[in-house]
Amino acid sequence: MTNRVFAAVAFAVAIAFAAVTQLISNEYYFTAAYTVLQFVILATAWNILGGYTGYVNFGSAAFFAIGAYSSVVLYNAFKAPLPVMIVAGTLIAGLAGLGLGYLTLRLRGVFFAIASLALAVVLYTFVVNWDYVGGARGAYVLQPSEVPFGLPRYVHLLYIAMVLMSALALIVARTIETSTLGRGLAAIRDDELAAECSGVPTLRLKIVSASVSCALMGMAGTTFPYFLSYVEPSSAFNLSYAVNSIAMPLIGGMMSWVGPLIGAVLLGSVQQLVQVTISSAWNLLIVGVLLVAFVTLAPNGIMGWIDLWRRRGRG
């Protein structure tokens, strides 16, 4: 399937899915599905740098929060419309990824990982001290009273935006995967020195990969303030975003765009169930245990099992 056909199919499926699910009368579905889709974007975005390039980003929460807080700033400044918020947050997060990548991707891979983790702490400190966006108290971002397209509630609009953004993230991931860029990234992942010697411009490709990945993470956060109507630093910088966006691709499989999608839908749905039936602390424990279990026992994730099963089927 060429990239254009895939993009058309993905958007068609997304629109059809969003339209059909409007028939669901249970309002809880939209809140739950929004959260799961948010993880689909984060996991897909993480995988562009983590799975394709082999560089670990622990700062997903930081880039997510950049997206969320850029929306808060735009809301406070001139009640910007939703599409403007989405585009601005995506660009700013991408620029942050570019900067971090430029500073640390020249060094050994682990320095990028540590710097991304530390970035989350510093941005958190910065936001806590920044009164314009509410500081530690948090900020209210009220949903507009008029909902466009004749939708019953604003969360339906956010849900549709999330479906479309997820489709976009998957299209970007697949396009990278099948392009020359993707082959360059795979070469870096498998042996960076050999790639460099074969003329792959490793630093440039890594920075591109980091920027795209971080931009998509920011995109996932842009609608977050409207979704909750209230943003405070510890919810926007929640560590569960960081751990989930690593756990989901690892559990699903990191070699293609399908893995993070499977991981996010499975793990995201399980968490929604556990959160409702047991408690959110157990919920996080389950993610942590699954992450460690998969990474030690099934390093190729669920897609690895499927590949194995297919190969056996062929004999």
Q: Name the site residues for another protein (rule: CB under 8 A).
A: 50, 54-56, 58, 103-104, 107, 109-111, 113-115, 117-119, 121-122, 124-126, 128-129, 239, 243, 246-247, 250, 281-282, 284-285, 287-289, 291-292, 295-296, 299
Question: What is the distance between the alpha carbons of residues 251 and 245, in angstroms, rounded to a whole number?
Answer: 10
Type of residue numbered 248: M
Cβ proximity to another protein: between 30 and 257 the closer is 257
User: CB of 139 within 8 A of CB of 72?
Assistant: yes
Cβ proximity to another protein: between 198 and 234 the closer is 234
Q: Encoding tokens for residue 173?
A: 């991931």
Instruction: Please state the closest distance from residue 40 (CB atom) to another protein, in A.
Output: 19
Nearest to 62 by CA among 104, 99, 96, 37: 96
Instruction: Please state the closest distance from residue 200 (CB atom) to another protein, in A.
Output: 18
Cβ proximity to another protein: between 34 and 237 the closer is 237
Measured in residues, the chain has a length of 315
Instruction: Please state the closest distance from residue 13 (CB atom) to another protein, in A.
Output: 30
Instruction: Please state the closest distance from residue 75 (CB atom) to another protein, in A.
Output: 24
Question: What is the distance between the alpha carbons of residues 213 and 301, in angstroms, rounded to a whole number?
Answer: 21
Query: Which residues does 122 contact at the CB level (< 8 Å), separation at least 6?
Result: none
Instruction: Please state the closest distance from residue 53 (CB atom) to another protein, in A.
Output: 10
Instruction: Please state the closest distance from residue 18 (CB atom) to another protein, in A.
Output: 33
Question: What is the distance between the alpha carbons of residues 80 and 163, in angstroms, rounded to a whole number?
Answer: 21
Vertex 99 angle, CA 242 and 230, to 5°:
45
Cβ proximity to another protein: between 9 and 103 the closer is 103
Cβ proximity to another protein: between 60 and 223 the closer is 60
User: CB of 88 within 8 A of CB of 218?
Assistant: no
CA contacts within 13 A on the Cβ side of 60: 32
Instruction: Please name the helix (run of DSSP H) or strand (run of DSSP E) that holds residue 112, with its range, or none.
Output: helix 109-128
Question: What is the distance between the alpha carbons of residues 227 and 205, in angstroms, rounded to a whole number?
Answer: 34
Cβ proximity to another protein: between 80 and 109 the closer is 109
Instruction: Please state the closest distance from residue 173 (CB atom) to another protein, in A.
Output: 17
| Positive or negative: CA dihedral 77, 83, 86, 88 | negative
Instruction: Please state the closest distance from residue 137 (CB atom) to another protein, in A.
Output: 13
Cβ proximity to another protein: between 11 and 102 the closer is 102
- For the chain, the straight-line distance linking the first and the last C-alpha, in angstroms and rounded, comes to 26
User: CB of 86 within 8 A of CB of 96?
Assistant: no
Cβ proximity to another protein: between 1 and 292 the closer is 292
Q: Encoding tokens for residue 123?
A: 């941005």
